[in-house]
């Protein structure tokens, strides 16, 4: 068994769509980034890559590469899964925590679990997603950005 952790932050801005765990949420702001800026998937990719000692998401998908401009992060996650399977690993389970003051994440968690399980080729029971506010403290509390943490266990 091997464990990995990941962390990511993206800035909230107007005129961007908000994508979290492969699901589009209705909100007046979205996350800024070279890809679709799905902060939760990026943290998850780093956790999985970390567990396999395969560097990080920026190493595999550099934001200077135009191929990844506006890309659906689910495609990056699917490629991360291909990389770890190539090394003989399989996902045990993963656990994601999203830190956001708004919008409410909890109603979307079942859809998010389903979407991530589809793109990782695993069972929904292997994908835990949690959400928290930071009690209006810090950049997430001021709604300047969204942060995400993830851990993954590989077998
Ligand atoms: Mg990122």
List pLDDT tens digits, range 38-58. Answer: 999 999 999 999 999 999 999
Around Cβ 70, how many Cβ atoms within 10 Å? 11
The pTM score is 0.97
Distance 36 CA to ligand 1 centre (A): 9
Q: Which of 24, 22, 18 is nearest to 100 (CA)?
A: 18
Q: Determine which helix (DSSP H) or strand (DSSP E) holds 138, and give its type and residue range.
A: helix 138-141
Distance 86 CA to ligand 1 centre (A): 24
Distance 134 CA to ligand 1 centre (A): 20
Contacts of 3 (CB under 8 A, 6+ apart): 51, 151, 152, 153, 154
Q: Mind listing the pLDDT tens digit of every residue in the chain (155 residues)?
A: 999 999 999 999 999 999 999 999 999 999 999 999 999 999 999 999 999 999 999 999 998 999 999 999 999 999 999 999 999 999 999 999 999 999 999 999 999 999 999 999 999 999 999 999 999 999 999 999 999 999 999 99
Q: Which residues lie near ion ligand 1 (Cβ < 5 Å)?
A: 8, 42
């Amino acid at each position: 068994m091997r464990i990995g952790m990941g962390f990511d932050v993206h800035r909230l801005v107007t005129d961007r769509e908000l994508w979290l765990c492969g699901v589009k949420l209705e909100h007046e702001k979205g996350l800024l980034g070279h890809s679709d800026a799905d902060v939760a998937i990026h943290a998850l990719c780093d956790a999985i890559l970390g567990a396999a000692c395969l560097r990080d998401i920026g190493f595999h998908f550099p934001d200077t590469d135009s191929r990844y401009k506006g890309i659906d992060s689910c495609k990056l996650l699917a490629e991360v899964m291909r990389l770890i399977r190539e090394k003989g690993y399989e996902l045990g389970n993963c656990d994601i925590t999203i830190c956001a003051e708004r919008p409410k994440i909890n109603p979307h968690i079942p859809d998010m679990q389903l979407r991530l399980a589809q793109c990782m080729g695993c069972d929904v029971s292997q994908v835990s997603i949690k959400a928290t506010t930071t009690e209006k403290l810090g950049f997430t509390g001021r709604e300047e950005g969204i942060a995400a943490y993830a851990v993954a266990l590989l077998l």
